[in-house]
Structure 1
Amino acid sequence: MTTALQTPLADVTRSNAALRTFLHGLPGVDKVGADARAASLGTRSIKTTAKATAIDLAIRMVDLTTLEGADTPGKVRALATKALRPDPLDPSCPAVAAVCVYPAMVADVADVLRGSGVHLASVATAFPSGQAPLSVKLDDTRAAVAAGADEIDMVISRGAFLSGRYLDVFEEIVAIKEACGDAHLKVILETGELATYDNVRRASWLAMLAGGDFIKTSTGKVQPAATMPVTLIMLEAVRDFLASTGRKVGVKPAGGIRTSKDAIKYLVMVNETVGDGWLDPDWFRFGASTLLNDLLMQRTKLATGHYSGPDYVTLD
């Protein structure tokens, strides 16, 4: 953040009224235009060489995720092993960006990933509802970081946001960011519950003003989860936030992105909306569990000319 912009941003967050005035003063989203723009970006034709590059990039951007009540230490260790070597038969296949698990599973994953360069993300703050006292959310965050997480995926309090208590949401994100220490913070907006595209834009700016390192669409537990139009609005928000503040923020669509074709559509949208500076795992991620399998099968198809059998990749 540039020094010249510190004072006006501080003024924006000095009260709920000031924050409301700022957020509701953001340009409104043309829903028809956003839907049409996202649809048009999904029609781009990607040729074979570019497709191979895009698939490897998408693999490197995956936050390989399991967030189920039935998760076990054995399951998450196996997932972490797959994250390091997604295709055991092909050492040229890149590793994924991160493994994302519940806080109770962080220590098990840390044992596998230690020293690898693959990040360890953990959901926290009473995921997925966010319905817990702040003290509980802070303890949840600190426990995950202490166990080895270097990225925290928090959920905002949608009830507070939709009630217009923007300062409460802002202050909670600030507190969680502080509790993260050196860990990066991804702020989950749960866009499927925000009702309007205008709210998606407002929540994006609110999360960035509060210090979020990434803004993330969804928990994957609410439908609709990630969509092209919503991700487009979030990309426009990070672009405009960089222009206004000098601070760059990442974007993570999560939930419902299952095929290589879908992932490549998102990469095209990133390139044409914010530029190739965001075509990097440091600035764009896919939150996914099944996407990696399709990327691996398409990668094999490009290399060998035929699809692998259904048992080529592990089921996650």
Structure 2
Amino acid sequence: MSGTSIVSARERALAVLGGEPDDATLRRYLHGIPGIDAVGLEQRAAGLGTRSIKTTSKRWALDRIISLIDLTTLEGADTPGKVRSLVAKAMTPDPADPTSPRVAAVCVYGDMVPFAVDALGAAHGDPDDGLVSVAAVATAFPSGRASLAIKLADTADAVAAGADEIDMVIDRGAFLAGRYGEVFDQIVQVKEACRRPDGSAASLKVILETGELNTYDNVRRASWLSILAGGDFIKTSTGKVSPAATLPVTLLMLEVVRDWHLATGQRIGVKPAGGIRSSKDAIKYLVTVAETVGEEWLRPHLFRFGASSLLNDVLLQRQKLATGHYSGADYVTID
């Protein structure tokens, strides 16, 4: 390892923390963050969930949702054929309508990365340019219960196979036990394992598994810790634990990202994953992003939906909109 990313993360942490990012310093900083008013947070989320969008914006919203989806298959029974089918859907979501945008990425286990890369061919690339990235879950997903050496090898193998993005899981046991320095160091080293020989790097999404963190305060602390350690995205969930993504938790993470940007000028992405299945719910997330951090975040390098079934409903609503057979009940309140 070159150590460049490790030095950068430590320097940034030193500047923010005023000390070495060990357990004591991180505890003092993270527990010094004001506590969450749970009732207030949930009321803000509920209010944003009822905000309206104009009728003329429906098509834009549906297309934007598609362009922000990480189309996912993360099953033990995944096969190269299933991944190729997933890629085909990612590239042409609606074969009957060539105007449909592509999704942002396909998300698979590391051993499936070569098949995804091969199936994408010339369509493999930056989703901000209308191409499709390959994301790989790593670090002993979904439990995170493995040695650091295995987690780093898992990450490096996926990157070498062509993954553009790595979705890692934090060690929730270490976090909940207050071993913040250990969690910090693991994120830093996984980020370093995302580096390629040419000096470029896969983007790192840090999965908090918010359903296991128990409190909003813990979600906020884990968000700050992940950003301090160099995460490019903070992600709610693996999709394997309930509850997964919720609007209040996503709003909380967006507020952390907003505050980090105001303090440092750096933009960090947010990815709610798991449980978002309808266009109506996805539009609530779009509104929440736009109202909290601004519409500039509604681009693939700053916001994603982790989903396996959401795309089907979005395509259905898109077809209804095109034929005039949609119902206002299919959407957020609209004026």
Q: Is the 8 A contact 1:13 1:167 kept in 2?
A: no
After superposition, residues 188-267 of structure 1 pair within 5 angstroms as: 188-267=207-286
Of 25, 48, 55, the match for 2:55: 48
The letter of the residue matching 2:29 is: F
Q: Is the 8 A contact 1:80 1:109 kept in 2?
A: yes
Q: Which moved more, 1:160-169 or 1:297-306?
A: 297-306
Residues 13/199 of structure 1: CA separation in 2 closer, same or farther (3 Å cut): farther
Q: Which moved more, 1:81-90 or 1:6-15?
A: 6-15
Q: What does the per-residue CA deviation read over 1:124-151, in whole Å, with 9 as the maximum and x for residues that have no partner?
A: 0000000000000001001111111010
Could you say what secondary structure the match of 1:122 adopts?
strand
For residues 185 and 22 of structure 2, what CA distance do their matches in structure 1 show?
11
Cα RMSD, aligned residues only: 1.6
Could you say what secondary structure the match of 1:114 adopts?
helix
Of 28, 40, 47, the match for 1:33: 40
Of 113, 117, 121, the match for 1:106: 113
Q: Is the 8 A contact 1:5 1:245 kept in 2?
A: no
Structure 2 equivalent of residue 312 of structure 1: none
**Do residues 15 (structure 1) and 22 (structure 2) align?**
yes
After superposition, residues 161-176 of structure 1 pair within 5 angstroms as: 161-176=175-190
Structure 2 equivalent of residue 129 of structure 1: 143
**Do residues 154 (structure 1) and 168 (structure 2) align?**
yes
The structural deviation recorded for 1:13 is 4.1
Of 89, 97, 103, the match for 2:96: 89
For residues 121 and 271 of structure 2, what CA distance do their matches in structure 1 show?
24
The structural deviation recorded for 1:200 is 0.4
Residues 55/13 of structure 1: CA separation in 2 closer, same or farther (3 Å cut): farther
Structure 2 equivalent of residue 180 of structure 1: 194
Q: Is the 8 A contact 2:17 2:29 kept in 1?
A: no
For residues 210 and 278 of structure 2, what CA distance do their matches in structure 1 show?
21
Structure 1 equivalent of residue 132 of structure 2: 118
Could you say what secondary structure the match of 2:122 adopts?
coil
Q: Is the 8 A contact 2:74 2:108 kept in 1?
A: yes
Q: Which runs of 5+ in 1 are unaligned?
A: 308-316
Residues 207/6 of structure 1: CA separation in 2 closer, same or farther (3 Å cut): closer
Structure 2 equivalent of residue 57 of structure 1: 64
TM-score, scaled to structure 1: 0.94
Could you say what secondary structure the match of 1:306 adopts?
coil
The letter of the residue matching 1:124 is: A
Q: Which runs of 5+ in 2 are unaligned?
A: 1-7, 124-130, 196-200, 327-335
Q: Is the 8 A contact 1:12 1:22 kept in 2?
A: no
For residues 210 and 104 of structure 1, what CA distance do their matches in structure 2 show?
26
Residues 6/256 of structure 1: CA separation in 2 closer, same or farther (3 Å cut): closer
Q: Is the 8 A contact 2:278 2:310 kept in 1?
A: yes
Residues 102/278 of structure 1: CA separation in 2 closer, same or farther (3 Å cut): same
The structural deviation recorded for 1:48 is 2.3
Residues 6/217 of structure 1: CA separation in 2 closer, same or farther (3 Å cut): closer
Work out the percentage of aligned pairs sharing the same amino acid: 67
For residues 63 and 291 of structure 2, what CA distance do their matches in structure 1 show?
19
TM-score, scaled to structure 2: 0.89
For residues 157 and 54 of structure 1, what CA distance do their matches in structure 2 show?
35
The structural deviation recorded for 1:5 is 6.5
The structural deviation recorded for 1:304 is 1.1
Of 318, 325, 328, the match for 1:306: 325
The structural deviation recorded for 1:47 is 3.0
Q: What does the per-residue CA deviation read over 1:13-57, in whole Å, with 9 as the maximum and x for residues that have no partner?
A: 432101110011112110000011101111122232111101100
